[in-house]
Amino acid sequence: MKEKGEIRDNYDLINSKAIGDYCRKIKYKFNTEELAVLVFRKKNEYKRKNRKVSRFN
């Protein structure tokens, strides 16, 4: 079972669960540029979430 925040495949990098599930269903293969953008966005999302939490500590 997937724990919260755990990435098990490339489709989990997509912010929308519905779109990620659809891409998984059709077995979409990401090219290098698409995958780089997904990783970059996920990394920035993680940084933003941590920054918001640290402001209240």
pLDDT score for 27:
94
Query: Of 56, 11, 3, 17, which Cα lies nearest the Cα of 38?
Result: 11
How does DSSP assign 1-57, residue by residue? Answer: -PPTT---SGGGGSS-HHHHHHHHHTTPPP-HHHHHHHHHHHHHHHHHHHHHHHHT-
Beta carbons within 8 Å of 55's beta carbon, 6+ residues apart: none
Q: What is the pLDDT along the chain (57 residues), one digit of tens a residue?
A: 556 667 788 899 898 899 999 999 999 999 999 999 999 998 888 777 777 655 565
Q: What residues does each domain of the chain span?
A: 30-57
